[in-house]
Amino acid sequence: MAELRAGIIGYGSAGRGIHGRLLREIGAQVVRVVTRNPARATAAEKDWPGVAVDATAEDLLRHADELDVVVIASPTGDHVAHVTAALAAGAHVVVDKPLATTAADAAQLAALGDGRLTVFQNRRWDPEQLTLLGLLAEDKLGAVHRFERRWERWRPVPQDRWKENDPEAGGLLLDLGAHLVDSAVQLFGPVASVTAELRNLTTPAVDDVFLALRHTGGTISHLQAGSLVGAPGPRTRVLGAKGAYLVTSFEGEVSPFSVLDEDGSPYEGRLVRGEEVTRVRRAPGGHPDFYRAVTEWALRGGPVPVDPADAVMTARVLDAARVSAAEERAVRLD
C-alpha cells in the first residue's frame, strides 16, 4: 500500500495532537507543516524528521503537487481562506470541523469541493457511535423516541486559547456542537426544528450548550456540552420502544455513573430494560479508520470519507441554534 503524503496547516493541539497522531498511526508521512511558533516548529521536526516547516499556508501550497492531501487544522475563522486556497492549488483537502462558522460559508466551500474536500468528523468512528449504529441496524431498541448525548466536563478555570476567547469562531457550539449534531443526524436523519439554550458562564465564547432537535423521522435529540459541570450526566442514553442503550462516561471523564464502567473490557455500554441489564460488545473500528478512508480516497479514487454536504447540514442546525437562543423560540429548518 502506498504511503500517504500529508501537509498540515496549523500544528497545535489539533494539527499535532489529533491529525498528526492519527496519520502516524496509519503509517502516513507528514512532509510539510505550517506554523510560525518556534516551539511547534521544533516539535514538528522531532515528530517528522526531514519535514519542511513553512511560515504560511501559501508557502505550503506552492508544493501542493508533492502532497496527497492537505489537512486544514487552523482556527475555524481561517477555514474559508485556507480551504479555498488549497482547493485552488489542486489538493485533496481534509478540513477540521466545523467546516465554517456559518452555513453560507460552509455551502460555498462544499460547492468548490468537486470531490476533493472532506470534513474531519472523526467522532463517527467513536466506539459508542459504531456500536449504537449496529444496535439500530439490528433493531435492538425498536423505534427510538429520544436520543441524549452529553459532552460535559468540570473545568471551572478556562484555558487561554482562541477557542475560549473568540466569540465568533470559538466556543462549544461550533467545537463540540458540530460533533454532537453530526452524530445525531448520522443516527436519526434530517432535522426539522431546533430549540437551543446557549450561555457564556466562564469565557467570552459560548461554554454551555443545550440543543433540542426534532428529526423528521420523529426522534427528538437532546444534546448538551458544558465546561462548568461538576456532576456530568451519562454520556449517551437512547430510549426506544424495546429498551434503552446507556453509555455512562466518555474518554476518561469521570461522572457519577462511572462506577458502572469496566475499563479495558470488550464492551461499550449496556442495553437496559427495567431491571434487565445486558452489556453490549463493542463494535470494531476507531478514529484511524477516518485516515484509512482518506488514503483510499486520495490515492485510489475511493469514496469521500465525509460528504461536505453533511457538514453544511450541521452548519444549518448550528445557525438555527443561535437564532433560537437569541429569540427564545423553536426554529424550523425548511
Mean predicted lDDT score pLDDT of the chain? 94
Cell of 92: 485533496
**Per-residue confidence (pLDDT) for residue 259, from 0 to 100:** 46
- Containing 60, the helix (H) or strand (E) segment is helix 57-61
DSSP 158: -
In the predicted structure, residue 45 carries a pLDDT above the cut 70? yes
Q: CATH number of the domain that 46 lies in? A: 3.40.50.720
pLDDT per position as a tens digit, 249-277? 765 554 454 445 455 578 999 999 999 99
| 41 in Cβ contact with 35 (< 8 Å) | yes
Domain membership of residue 142 (yes or no) is yes
Task: State how far the Cα of 263 lies from the Cα of 232, in Å rounded to an integer.
Answer: 18
Question: 99 and 18: one domain?
Answer: yes
Is the domain of 169 the same as that of 230?
A: yes
The confidence score (pLDDT) of residue 144 equals 99
310 inside domain: no
Alpha carbon distance 235, 302 (integer Å): 33
For residue 211, the SS3 value is strand
Nearest to 77 by CA among 13, 162, 179, 198: 162
CATH code of residue 274: 3.30.360.10
Overall number of domains in the chain: 2
What average pLDDT does range 156-179 have in this prediction?
90
pLDDT of amino acid 170:
87
Q: 129 and 95: one domain?
A: no
Q: Provide the percentage of residues in the chain whose pLDDT is more than 70.
A: 95
- Residue 209, beta-bridge partner list: 198, 225
Q: Is the pLDDT of residue 112 over 60?
A: yes
- H and E: helices and strands count for the chain: 10, 15
- As a whole number, mean pLDDT of residues 299-317 equals 98
Note the helical H segments in 89-236: 103-113, 127-137, 162-165, 172-188
Residue 255 domain-assigned (yes or no): yes
Domain assignment of residue 312, yes or no: no
Q: Is 141 found in the same domain as 107?
A: no
Neighbours of 287 (CB within 10 A): 17
- The whole-angstrom separation of Cα 99 and Cα 121 is 10
The pLDDT tens digits of the residues spanning 2-40 come to 799 999 999 999 999 999 999 999 999 999 999 999 999
Whether 134 and 74 share a structural domain: no
Residue 308 domain-assigned?
A: no
Same domain, 240 and 171: yes
Residues 36 and 93 in one domain: yes
Q: In this predicted structure, what is the pLDDT of residue 258?
A: 47
Whether 279 and 147 map to the same domain: the answer is yes
Distance from C-alpha of 251 to C-alpha of 223, rounded to nearest angstrom = 17
pTM above 0.95, yes or no: no
Q: How confident is the model at residue 68 (pLDDT cuts 50, 70, 90)?
A: very high
Confidence of residue 237 (pLDDT cuts 50, 70, 90): very high
Q: What is the Cα–Cα distance from 21 to 266, expressed in whole angstroms?
A: 24
- Give the per-residue pLDDT at 73: 98
Residue 264 has what pLDDT? Answer: 56
108 within a domain of the structure (yes/no): yes
Dist. CA 168–CA 83, nearest whole Å: 19
Same domain, 112 and 184: no
Do the domain assignments include residue 244? yes
Question: Which is it for the CA torsion 16, 17, 23, 25, positive or negative?
Answer: positive
How far, rounded to the nearest angstrom, does the alpha carbon of residue 284 sit from its chain's CA centroid?
19
Assess whether the previous peptide bond of 305 is cis (omega < 30° from 0). Answer: no
Residue-level pLDDT at 160:
83
- The answer to the question of residue 136 being in a domain is yes
Query: Do 46 and 145 reside in the same domain of the chain?
Result: no
Q: Is the pLDDT of residue 190 over 50?
A: yes
Q: Identify whether residues 86 and 136 lie together within a single domain.
A: no
pLDDT at site 209: 98
What is the enclosing helix (H) or strand (E) of 297?
helix 288-300
Mean pLDDT over 214-220 rounds to 99
Q: Are residues 224 and 256 in the same domain?
A: yes
DSSP-based three-state secondary structure for 180 = helix
- What is the extent of the structural domain holding 260? 124-285+319-332
